[in-house]
């Protein structure tokens, strides 16, 4: 059944039952009634019909229609000029288009087998004599210049080594990826008509050329070629004409944020949100091995969306008028916080009016009354009011940073105080086993009640003061970055490393000997102090790279080597 017909069937069923089209119902908020509503919403959003809610797919189309009808039923107003929807475009992964050619004389080579176009390339072509420029590198400080004795380079196809000698990496203190970027820039400055990387230093260990990397694209064809191509060039003494053409393409998809509004004609607005998208049938972010399966995303993040509905219902019934209240579910969080970034940067709502933001993301797996609140350093108000308000039986871990892998980050970057409500990573994270039957509905209800009590106390207070929390230069999550295959312990806040909550089987960390509860303190001598420095360090690597990781394991320092 196509997504369109599934949607018609679902909406018809809901119409018959009156579950979302009844007009302005009056809600009750006993424990049983809250749990019943949470369960109904999560079971619907995390059902087979919604196909894992991947952004830009028919599954998301069903999802946003469902959310719209919930907001209409709750009687919160559409935010976007009479619409609940804010659409935006985003790109999928790069792939080969039609014109990817490497020809030397009369011999044509196969893309994806003999040579590999690189994302840094432009969609362009060059035909010229090749010139071997060895490493294609120069550095005045270390008196290294591979171009020193080369003339008449303009327009030629530069053939250069992908890797640098290990000694040069150590002297320069740079990674392979950074060196590649510098070598491309130098080659273009020298007039390269095209660039072909080869690997004669480590022919048994060719790099993995990933089209998932995010990098600057140049108006020059750039590719990596296998050792057979290099040997042919060498046999011909680099005198045979080379044609190199690169053409990459990627699809454009549409994501949809959904927002409802309570307008109290107040000067400030409170935003309560959570992302509605998940992984669909898996993809690059999945931890599932084997055949494709629906990733239901009950905790991540049907739980948060159901929480947004319940917050809207509750606040609609109150007489809080010190703020306006904006309820929003974001698209494409799993693809790099794209929906929340679009909302905060689009200008469709004045971010200067936003008092603070609550982010519900994975609030469905509470165990032993444990709750993590991330962002408590973004306002001097947070720690005191949380301490005063929380139930005595709650074990709350407060994490200062306003940055992190969820949608509150986009608001923090607009100088808005944030709190990210989070019950932690579990074995079913980004896997098909994240299903509604595993949700702790009573625990979720308790978390929502705490958030409402905080909102009530703040409703008549002055606007919250924003404070910046220490962050590294890496400003947001990037899905193209390689991964170790670990679940970080987001509640670990001792500023002396990144604690590993769980190591995934058959992933790089597992194969390299990293264990649960290890604390990562450095990657290739790059100090790791928290999740942000960890993500920043990962940006310097790609698949196939090897890294030395220093760990603290039961108070002893351990070194392991991991290959991405």
- Token pair recorded at residue 67: 């959310």
- Token pair recorded at residue 275: 């992302």
Q: 27-37, pLDDT tens digit by residue?
A: 889 999 999 99
Share of the chain above pLDDT 90, in %: 69
pLDDT at 99 over 90: yes
CATH of domain 486-563: 2.30.42.10
Strand partners, 360: 421
pLDDT at 146 over 90: yes
Q: What is the 3-state secondary structure (H, E, C) of 68-117?
A: HHHHHHHCCEECECCECEEEEEEECCCEECCCCEEEECCEEECECCCEEE
pLDDT at 493 (0 to 100): 61
pLDDT at 49 (0 to 100): 97
pLDDT at 532 (0 to 100): 65
Mean pLDDT score across all residues of the chain: 89
- Token pair recorded at residue 439: 């949700």
From first CA to last CA, the distance across the chain in angstroms is 39
Distance CA 219, CA 246 (A): 10
**Out of 7-11, 120-124, 332-336, 524-528, least confident range:** 7-11
DSSP 456-495: HHHHTSPPPPP------S--S--TTS----EEE-TT--SS
Domains of the chain, residue spans: 3-90+255-459, 95-249, 486-563
Q: Which CATH number, 3.40.630.10, 3.40.50.300, 3.30.70.260, 3.30.420.10, labels domain 3-90+255-459?
A: 3.40.630.10
Q: What average pLDDT does this structure show over 321-329?
A: 98
Please state whether the predicted TM-score (pTM) of the whole model is above 0.95.
no
Q: 203-213, pLDDT tens digit by residue?
A: 778 888 888 77
Distance CA 385, CA 462 (A): 14
Q: What average pLDDT does this structure show over 313-342?
A: 95
Q: Is pLDDT larger for residue 472 or for residue 186?
A: 186
Q: What average pLDDT does this structure show over 196-224?
A: 87
DSSP 153-203: -TT-EEEEESSPPHHHHHHHT--HHHHHHHHHHHHHHTT-SEEEEE-SSST
Whether omega for the bond prior to residue 74 falls within 30 degrees of 0, making it cis, is no
pLDDT at 20 over 50: no
Distance CA 278, CA 304 (A): 12
Query: What pLDDT band is residue 544 in, cutting at 50, 70 and 90?
Result: confident
pLDDT at 480 (0 to 100): 45
Q: What average pLDDT does this structure show over 389-406?
A: 91
Distance CA 358, CA 33 (A): 23
**Out of 21-25, 151-155, 247-251, 442-446, least confident range:** 21-25
- Token pair recorded at residue 336: 């790099």
pLDDT at 10 over 70: no
Q: 65-92, pLDDT tens digit by residue?
A: 999 999 999 999 999 999 999 999 998 8
**Out of 10-14, 66-70, 151-155, 407-411, least confident range:** 10-14
Q: Which CATH number, 3.50.30.30, 3.60.40.10, 3.30.930.10, 3.10.129.10, labels domain 95-249?
A: 3.50.30.30
Does an H or E element contain 389, and which? Answer: helix 382-389
pLDDT at 201 (0 to 100): 87
């Amino acid at each position: 059944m196509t997504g369109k017909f599934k949607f018609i069937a679902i909406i018809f069923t809901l119409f018959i039952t009156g579950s979302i089209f009844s007009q302005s119902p009056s809600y009750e908020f006993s424990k049983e009634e809250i749990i019943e509503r949470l369960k109904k919403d999560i079971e619907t959003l995390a059902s087979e019909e919604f196909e894992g809610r991947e952004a830009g797919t028919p599954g998301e189309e069903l999802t946003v229609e469902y959310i719209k009808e919930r907001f209409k039923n709750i009687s919160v107003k559409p935010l976007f000029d009479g619409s609940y929807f804010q659409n935006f475009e985003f790109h999928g992964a790069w792939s080969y288009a039609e014109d990817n050619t490497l020809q030397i004389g009369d011999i044509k080579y196969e893309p994806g087998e003999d040579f590999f176009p690189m994302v840094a390339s432009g969609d362009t072509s060059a035909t010229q004599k090749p010139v071997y420029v060895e490493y294609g590198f120069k550095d005045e400080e270390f008196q290294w210049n591979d171009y020193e004795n080369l003339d008449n380079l303009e327009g030629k196809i530069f053939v250069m080594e992908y890797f640098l000698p290990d000694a040069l990496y150590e002297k320069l203190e740079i990674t392979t990826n950074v060196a590649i970027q510098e070598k491309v820039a130098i080659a273009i400055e020298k007039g390269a008509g095209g660039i072909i990387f080869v690997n004669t230093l480590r022919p048994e260990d060719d790099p993995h050329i990933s089209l998932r990397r995010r990098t600057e694209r140049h108006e020059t064809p750039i590719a990596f070629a296998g050792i057979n191509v290099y040997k042919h060039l060498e046999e011909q003494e680099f005198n045979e004409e080379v044609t190199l053409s690169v053409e990459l393409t990627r699809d454009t998809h549409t994501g949809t944020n959904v927002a409802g509004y309570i307008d109290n004609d107040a000067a400030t607005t409170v935003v309560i949100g959570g992302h509605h998208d998940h992984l669909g049938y898996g993809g690059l972010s999945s931890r599932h091995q084997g055949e494709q399966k629906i990733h239901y995303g009950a905790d991540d993040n049907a739980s948060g969306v159901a929480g947004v509905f319940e917050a809207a219902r509750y606040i609609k019934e109150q007489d809080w008028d010190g703020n306006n209240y904006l309820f929003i579910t974001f698209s494409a969080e799993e693809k790099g916080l794209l929906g929340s970034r679009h909302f905060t940067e689009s200008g469709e709502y004045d971010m200067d009016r936003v008092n603070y933001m609550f982010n519900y993301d994975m609030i469905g797996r509470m165990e032993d009354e444990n709750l993590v609140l991330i962002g408590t350093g973004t306002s001097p108000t947070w720690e005191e009011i949380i301490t005063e308000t929380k139930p005595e039986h709650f074990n709350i871990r407060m994490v200062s940073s306003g940055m992190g892998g969820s949608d509150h980050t986009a608001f923090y970057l607009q100088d808005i105080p944030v709190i990210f409500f989070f019950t932690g990573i579990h074995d079913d994270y980004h896997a098909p086993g994240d299903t509604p039957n595993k949700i702790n509905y009573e625990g979720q209800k308790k978390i929502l009640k705490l958030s409402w009590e905080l909102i009530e106390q703040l409703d008549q207070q002055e606007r919250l003061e924003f404070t910046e929390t220490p962050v590294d230069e890496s400003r947001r999550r990037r899905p193209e970055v390689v991964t170790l295959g670990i679940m970080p312990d987001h509640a670990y806040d001792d500023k002396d490393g990144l604690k590993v909550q769980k190591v995934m089987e058959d992933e790089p960390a597992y194969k390299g000997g990293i264990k649960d509860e290890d604390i990562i303190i450095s990657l290739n001598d790059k100090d790791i102090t928290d999740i942000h420095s960890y993500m920043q360090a990962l940006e310097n690597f790609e698949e196939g790279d090897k890294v030395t990781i220093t760990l603290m394991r039961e108070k002893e320092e351990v070194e392991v080597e991991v290959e991405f």
